[in-house]
Structure 1
Amino acid sequence: MSRSVLVTGGSRGIGLAVARAFAADGDKVAVTYRTSEPPADLAGVSCDVTSPADVERAVAEVQSLHGPVEVLVANAGITRDKLLLRMSEEDFEATLDANLKGAFRVVRQVAPAMLKARRGRIVFISSTVGLRGEQGQSNYAASKAGLVGFARSLAWEFGKRGITVNVIAPGLTDTAMTAVLPEKRIAEMCATIPLQRMASPEEIAEVVRFVASPQASYLTGAVIPVDGGASMGH
């Protein structure tokens, strides 16, 4: 049965791959975007997840287009990488506002319909950086680690209504974010990964698709690293 799916930050990278995976299954997919418009074959809604009013408007547009959201993939996020002593208050706050509070804002808008229907899938896109940390990314790591506690709390709150809440933690992935890195740095990072390579966005999307599927109906509160083994033990 075709479901109403919302992917935040779905105009490129992992978000776009996730959106295409659901669309390939016949779901009604909408993606939010802020700077990069999505392809013409996907329903796009402009949205700045740091604005509560913007989130409320965007979700209302999606619900008007496809009906109440049944699957939410909270993927929108930013990076402002700096070593701690060079990081400003604004760098730290802006990253948490987009990555953690942004997810909170979207969930708060879609949850009432899910609770009423007594079904739904919520998937947060975190990062293995949130599990093991990384130099120069303390703000990003804090925001992505926060998603784990947030998701597990919601798994308790929503479980009795048949709604699952899970976290996917991608590792090094071949996206626009990594494309700016020098080849030497990418090679060094891949050398620390058991599978010795980056993930493709499509490999992340396949795990998201499974977690949101009927087959994963007894999976909730889980944190699933998709990182080639890089964060084993975390």
Structure 2
Amino acid sequence: MKKILITGAANGIGRATAIACVEAGYNVIAADKDKQGLRDLQNILPSHRLEAYFADFSKPDTYQSFISDLYQHDDRLALQGLVNNAGLYHGKSVFEYSDEEMEEMWAVNLKSLIFLSRDFARHELQAPHARSIVNITSVAGEVGSMDALYGATKAGVIGLTKANAWNFAPRIRVNAVSPALIRNTSIHERIPEHRRKEYERQEVLNTPIQPEGVADVILFLLSEQSRHLTGKVIPVDNGAYPR
């Protein structure tokens, strides 16, 4: 059975992706610091298809060892894919950030992806079949954000995606999904109202984007259907901000 690791799996896009992966026939390792969200996910998915792990990816001890620990505990483990979804958004000016908040943002949104992706590749680069990494960036990483720290980290995710597509080829494909205004997520409620209205004004399709719509694109990038794609950034934005 193919197995996928999803970080930030307890809510929003991560939760929708975990459900979509199980429905598509994958087994899922779900990692998140939200214990209640993980329990809720366990309540709706078959126990033999889901492994849930409490993990705070702002902590170096976590992101530097998480994947290696998985392989150490199961010497038969083979991961088909990694979805780097865990992320933070505060929706505030750079002048309002504390030093501690800045460090946490860098750790969760970018540094953890570097370590998780590298360790995934170390264990799966010689696998007999192709593997896939999907990074979750944001329109903020492409066109900017009033939250400069968030925008900067998400731009870094795009750079990491393109670099690792080269680093890990040809066995591991690396792509990114770039959502815009996604409803029913914790981030949505933190976006200042005037920014939400601007995103909505830019959209040329009128069906509000839900986490499940992003999960569909992630599932495509994990699958063999996207076997010719690597180093790509796929917008999920209802046509907003043409680029």
Compute the TM-score of the two structures, normalised by the length of structure 2: 0.86
**1:48 maps onto 2:47 in alignment:** no
State how far apart, in whole Å, the 2-side matches of 1:12 and 1:34 are.
11
The Cα of 1:182 is off from its aligned counterpart by 8.0
Q: Deviations over 1:103-138 (max 9, x none)?
A: 112112221121121521000000011100122x10
Contact 1:80 1:95 (C-alpha < 8 Å) held by counterparts: no
Which residue of 168, 173, 187 maps to 2:182? Answer: 173
State how far apart, in whole Å, the 1-side matches of 2:156 and 2:193 are.
31
Which residue of 202, 207, 211 maps to 2:212? Answer: 202
Which residue of 212, 231, 236 maps to 1:226? Answer: 236
Compute the TM-score of the two structures, normalised by the length of structure 1: 0.89
1:211 paired residue number: 221
Distance 1:231 1:187, change over 3 A: closer
Partner SS for 1:219: coil
**1:138 maps onto 2:137 in alignment:** no
* Unpaired stretches in structure 2, ≥5 consecutive residues: none
State how far apart, in whole Å, the 1-side matches of 2:145 and 2:155 are.
12
- Number of residues paired by the alignment? 230
State how far apart, in whole Å, the 2-side matches of 1:62 and 1:22 are.
19
The Cα of 1:184 is off from its aligned counterpart by 8.0
Contact 2:91 2:191 (C-alpha < 8 Å) held by counterparts: no
Partner SS for 1:116: coil
Give, as a single letter, the amino acid of the residue that structure 2 aligns with 1:59.
I
Distance 1:150 1:5, change over 3 A: same
The Cα of 1:231 is off from its aligned counterpart by 2.2
Q: Deviations over 1:149-200 (max 9, x none)?
A: 111111111113x210001001100113224568787455422322245311
State how far apart, in whole Å, the 1-side matches of 2:207 and 2:144 are.
20
Within-5 A mapping of 1:86-101: 86-101=96-111
State how far apart, in whole Å, the 2-side matches of 1:145 and 1:13 are.
21
Contact 2:59 2:107 (C-alpha < 8 Å) held by counterparts: no
* Unpaired stretches in structure 1, ≥5 consecutive residues: none
The Cα of 1:52 is off from its aligned counterpart by 3.4
2:30 paired residue number: 31
**1:128 maps onto 2:106 in alignment:** no
Contact 1:45 1:58 (C-alpha < 8 Å) held by counterparts: no
Give, as a single letter, the amino acid of the residue that structure 1 aligns with 2:126.
K
Q: Deviations over 1:14-46 (max 9, x none)?
A: 001111111111111111010243211232111
State how far apart, in whole Å, the 2-side matches of 1:15 and 1:166 are.
16
